[in-house]
Amino acid sequence: MAQGAQQQQMINQMVSGAVEAMEASVDAEIEKLDKMDEDDLDAIRERRIKQMQKFQAQKQEYKNLGHGTYDTITNEKEFFEISKKSDRVVCLFYIDTSFRCKIVDKHLSELCKKHFETRFIRLNAEKAPFLTERLKIKVMPTIMLVKDSNVCDRIVGFDDLGSSDNFPTSLLEWRIAQNKVISYSGDLTRPLLTKSRTRRRSKSRGTSDRRKTARTPSWTTKITRDKCRVTSPAASDRSTTAGFRGVLIHGHTLIAE
């Protein structure tokens, strides 16, 4: 009994100390505000105005570069130019016959409005043979994530998105954020999943090898207008037939899965 009372007294003292420290901090802030004169308030107001002006200028610059929209580019030259002008780019490589590319389109159309700091584009893989070969793109859809003119990551098929056609936009957002290609305030260790009914692939669409494929290790591809060099060849040797839900590309011949 005596020991229990002693422990309770210690807990009460710790709580009391924490409350007093918090009160002291609040009092200090109030005192600081009370001591401010008109010049101090004007300085704070001026700093705030400058911050707002800087933000608006940045937003206008992004808008001039095409940020806030999800655009279809028609050739590889545009891809290089956009990667040079915008620090962060999300590019979907697609083909018209893949319905899963249209699923990705729906999600990226939402994310481009939310993440004004990043440029969102799409490029028909059939019209980009150079990039398709150099970047080892063999499955549709493939999302390339570009940061500072470097392809820093890729999302191939739907394996990283729960292997479901019905994944939520928040899951794709979290996956893109892993390499800071978008500004993300959530927990990067686990996705913030919105309610979404999981739908397994029906047998009528056919079944494919469901073996798990190891995620690609970190790799970087340097983009320039004249070349696209993979700096970590081992990472580009990723298997393209096991577990991916998409359309396979063999060379430049597109074959439905």
pLDDT digits (tens, 9 = 90+) for 149-178: 999 999 999 999 999 999 999 999 999 999
Mean of all residue pLDDT scores within the chain = 78
pLDDT value for 194: 61
pLDDT at 92 over 50: yes
The strand pairing partners of 142, in sequence order, are 93, 156
pLDDT value for 214: 38
Torsion of CA 164, 173, 181, 83, to 10 degrees: 70
pLDDT value for 151: 95
The strand pairing partners of 164, in sequence order, are none
> How confident is the model over 29-55, as pLDDT tens digits?
777 777 777 777 777 788 888 888 877
What is the Cα Rg of the chain in Å?
Answer: 25
Exposure of 66 by Cβ count < 10 A (0-12 exposed, 13-18 middle, 19+ buried)? middle
pLDDT value for 117: 95
Residues 183-207, buried b or exposed e (16+ Cβ, 10 A)? eeeeeeeebeeeeeeeeeeeeeeee
pLDDT value for 253: 42
pLDDT at 134 over 80: yes
Residue 224: pLDDT band (50, 70, 90) is very low
Contact of 139 with 100, CB cutoff 8 Å: no
The span from the CA of 182 to the CA of 228, in Å, is 23
